[in-house]
Amino acid sequence: MTPTSYDALPAGLLAELEIAGLDPRAVYAGIVAALAEDLPEELGGEDVTSVATIDADAEGTGDFAAREPGVVAGLTVAALVFHVVMGHEVAVTDRLPDGTHVEPGDVVLRVAGRTRGLLTAERTALNYASHLSGVATATAAWVQALDGTRARVLDTRKTLPGYRALQKYAVRCGGGFNHRLSLADRAMVKDNHVLAAGGVVPAYQAVRAAYPDLRVEVEVTDLDQLHELLAVGCEEILLDNMSTQVMAEAVRITAGRATLEASGGLTIERAREVAETGVDVISVGALTHSVRVFDIGLDLQDRTSRS
């Protein structure tokens, strides 16, 4: 299969990705790489099952439907998959906006075109939509758990290689917020940096001296480190693996002088009690590193299949 060229893709879809904070060319490159896993050129680049069982002229329509309640994300990417495979010979309609809450049976996306192409693109499209909807659904559950408190839920850099921008986009679809996107856009002083620098204050001051205009957050594991950082003016502090009682005391000590982030093995069952300590944000690696995929299925109606 020869992928549809980037310049031949629907301009509206590419614009949607850009508006969503995604790089359309990077998304396109990822889709092409994903399709190459299913259609390796060295093996002929064909969906052999579809070629053998479906007439080349057969056409069909298919509904992508939710099998469970949740929040969808990645449907723009899924739509783009069909266009990369089928060019303008596919119609993608009834696509729900990413971030929509759905119930079982809701159609989230409808496709129509040559049946072979629909089935060739199906799994790649589902891989994107199911995974990203899983991230959005998990994030929405955390947002709901924190409702009525001041705390916001953040993601982390614990993302699948190559999927960071997409996963962080899905977090936004679920109502969450993004932590730093890379090692370069924000400094995050963690335990090993503290060890190497000789303490939380030397580590903080070293980053501040090297990058005076960059945001700096420092991880602490006890209240003594918190006191030290507040004394030198650190304004972003991560409370790592602390009990609820210690976090509440950290909030009292800080008294609004710094933004406090709770992190480290937090579960959604504990979310509200942590938020009620008064911390500003809660970071959750599980939103991206171990999320359960959201169940979406394709129901195909083939109109002219081989007899």
Please list the active-site residues: 123, 158, 190, 219, 240
**Cβ distance 214 to 207 under 8 Å?**
yes
- Angstrom distances, CA of residue 126 to CA of 132, 152, 226, 231, 294: 10, 29, 45, 51, 10
Give the Cα separation of 281 and 102 in Å (integer): 27
Tokens of 199: 């303490």
- In a 3-state reduction of DSSP, which class is residue 299? strand
**Phi, psi (rounded to 5 degrees) for 57:** -95, 0
**Cβ distance 144 to 176 under 8 Å?**
no
**Cβ distance 294 to 137 under 8 Å?**
yes
- In a 3-state reduction of DSSP, which class is residue 241? coil
User: Residue 183 contacts by C-beta under 8 Å, 6 or more apart in sequence?
Assistant: none
- In a 3-state reduction of DSSP, which class is residue 168? helix
